[in-house]
Chains A and B, each alone.
Chain A
Amino acid sequence: MELSRDEEKALDGDNGEALATAYRILVAIGEATGAQKLVPTKWAHISGVNYNTIGDEGMRFLEKFSHAAKFAIRATINPMGYDRSKPEDISHNFQQRQENIARSYERMGATPSFTCTPYEVFEIPQKGTVVSFAESNAAVFSNSILGIMTNKESALSAMSSAVTGKTPLSDLRLEETRKPKIAVEPDFDFMTELDYGLLGYFAGREVKDSCVALSRVKKLDTIQAKALCGAIGTSGSCGMFTFGGKAKEKITFGKKEAQSVRDELSSANDGDIITLGSPQLGMNELKLLANITESRKFTRRCIIFCSRAIYNNSVKIGLAGKIEKSGAELKCDSCICLTPYITKDRFDAVITNSIKGAYYLSKSNKLKVVLKDIKTIAEEYMK
């Protein structure tokens, strides 16, 4: 990769250790993705905010780094581990460490968005704009639905782009990579958002390219799109899908394949808690929930995650209150993945419609999971 003279100097430490670190990371990812140069990027969405994911070592690194670095472009951040306005249930130790991390990001100039769905909270730039999104569901959604261009960035590469305002011109920022070589084609009709999640997980697992074509998948509603994007980003390295499109090779996604994903992620028949919100729920999903939960109550504890911005809007129009009447608890700033709200010592098995949530609940939190779509959950666990 060729660097400009100024970039070389920054890499050599002329502008300080923090910028040198950021350029070292950008050069490494540039080499990994075969980039020839760095280009300006408009917006970095940074992951690595939840204390349960980056731990003490990550926290210490960020504290030191944030005293030497400033974000040069719009920088938004992923969910943390808990809802700042509902700290009950969360240990003092966790809160302290989590707040330390939040302060580091804010010190560098991040907007304290604590959301994994920046595309539902912030103004979307024009199609073709280069951005740097680390959260995998947001990267897939942005490339596939919004037409803005990002690679599937890592927590560290997105932060490096936030500091430098630069990112490698490579991979999904090149038109030729955005043309899929392989298509995944469902051979049955999809009934629920869960089917889209199963398809996404399968496609991400089977296809090693950065972009995959999804045949027979037409226009998606927000719920289906988010289920699909969250799942693709979880199982593989794929950062984009196209609606149909020409592809040389075809892989069929039949009921057997759907069942194989279910078997991998769904390990129980019943659970003692319901959770929704990975990706965090948006207004459309909250409206749907308000409708299907009307005049009914959950028979299990139910925790629903959304961003603070979406929550505030939903309070204004009375939506939050309607949902809370069902007994569900709305939590902000956090999401299903690796939250201390849902741990093995508190619960045995979790009921969810989220493929991404199911993956991290089982792999990281070591909980059993029951996968069901949202309407089935309401039918079976409400009265």
Chain B
Amino acid sequence: MIISNCRKIVGGIGEGEMLVTTQPINFLAMVDAKKGTISDPLHELYGKSLKGSILILPYAIGSSVGAYVIYSLKEYGNAPSAVVCSNADITTASGCALANIPVLNLPHVSVISQLEHGRKARVNADVGTITVEPWQ
């Protein structure tokens, strides 16, 4: 499956298993950058590792310092390979721009439901596509 017409927010290419959530993330309050995991027991991705994943979320919420948490994930070697949002926000965009993590915005919020947790995907932010395995 290929999802095209995604909007490029930060260019680049990434590949990994999709980590999908429909719940927004407050990166400062919910992510442990050193461990690379979601640390909020109330979040549906609690305990999951972001490392090397294609993180698919609606958008970031809350603290403006979340951008530094995204940068720290990268510096600790725990960053996602790429990030996909349904409503890309300033915190995600700026943190990923500094950390050189590719970011795409989905053509429509409903597309999130087509993306299956755990399946492998390739994000090409330069051309705006997400390719999901089985590869064609």
Q: Which A residues are within 8 Å of any B CB, using their own CB?
A: 21, 24-25, 27-29, 31-33, 47-48, 50, 53-55, 57-58, 60-61, 134-136, 151-158, 160, 204, 208, 233-237, 264, 359-360, 363-364
Q: For the complex, is B51 an interface residue (Cβ under 8 Å from A)?
A: no
Question: In whole angstroms, what is the CA distance A61 to B30 when docked?
Answer: 22
- CB pair A153–B98 under 8 Å, yes or no, is no
Question: CB < 8 Å: which of A21, A208, A364 contacts B28?
Answer: A364
Q: For the complex, is B90 an interface residue (Cβ under 8 Å from A)?
A: yes
- CB pair A359–B29 under 8 Å, yes or no, is yes
- CB pair B67–A27 under 8 Å, yes or no, is no
> Which residues on A sit within 8 Å (CB–CB) of B7?
31
Question: In whole angstroms, what is the CA distance A53 to B68 when docked?
Answer: 8
> Which residues on A sit within 8 Å (CB–CB) of B42?
264
Q: For the complex, is B61 an interface residue (Cβ under 8 Å from A)?
A: yes
- CB pair B96–A235 under 8 Å, yes or no, is no
Q: For the complex, is B33 an interface residue (Cβ under 8 Å from A)?
A: yes
For this complex, 6 residue pairs linking A to B, each with C-beta atoms less than 8 Å apart, are: A31-B7, A32-B88, A54-B72, A136-B63, A155-B94, A156-B67
- CB pair B62–A233 under 8 Å, yes or no, is yes
The number of chain B residues with a CB under 8 A from chain A is 42
CB distance from B36 to the nearest CB of A (A): 13
- CB pair A25–B98 under 8 Å, yes or no, is yes
Q: For the complex, is B13 an interface residue (Cβ under 8 Å from A)?
A: no
- CB pair A55–B64 under 8 Å, yes or no, is no
> Which residues on B sit within 8 Å (CB–CB) of A360?
28-29
Q: For the complex, is B35 an interface residue (Cβ under 8 Å from A)?
A: no
> Which residues on B sit within 8 Å (CB–CB) of A156?
67-68, 71, 94-95, 97-98
> Which residues on A sit within 8 Å (CB–CB) of B89?
32, 237
Contact status of A53 and B94, CB under 8 A, knowing A136-B63, A158-B64, A236-B61 = no
CB distance from A77 to the nearest CB of B (A): 12
- CB pair B30–A363 under 8 Å, yes or no, is yes
- CB pair B33–A55 under 8 Å, yes or no, is yes
Contact status of A151 and B64, CB under 8 A, knowing A24-B97, A25-B98, A31-B9 = no
Question: In whole angstroms, what is the CA distance A237 to B64 when docked?
Answer: 10
> Which residues on B sit within 8 Å (CB–CB) of A61?
68, 71, 75, 98
> Which residues on B sit within 8 Å (CB–CB) of A57?
33, 68, 71-72, 75-76
> Which residues on B sit within 8 Å (CB–CB) of A264?
42
Q: For the complex, is B124 an interface residue (Cβ under 8 Å from A)?
A: no
- CB pair A28–B62 under 8 Å, yes or no, is no
- CB pair A58–B71 under 8 Å, yes or no, is yes
CB distance from A22 to the nearest CB of B (A): 10
- CB pair B68–A58 under 8 Å, yes or no, is yes
- CB pair A32–B92 under 8 Å, yes or no, is yes
> Which residues on A sit within 8 Å (CB–CB) of B14?
none
- CB pair A27–B71 under 8 Å, yes or no, is no
> Which residues on A sit within 8 Å (CB–CB) of B67?
48, 154-157
Q: Which residue of B lies closest to A170 (CB)?
A: B90
- CB pair A155–B64 under 8 Å, yes or no, is yes
CB distance from A134 to the nearest CB of B (A): 4
Question: In whole angstroms, what is the CA distance A364 to B63 when docked?
Answer: 12
- CB pair A155–B68 under 8 Å, yes or no, is yes
Question: In whole angstroms, what is the CA distance A236 to B24 when docked?
Answer: 8
Interface membership of chain B positions 1-15, coded 1 if the CB is closer than 8 angstroms to chain A and 0 otherwise: 000000111100000
> Which residues on A sit within 8 Å (CB–CB) of B40?
363
Question: In whole angstroms, what is the CA distance A4 to B42 when docked?
Answer: 45
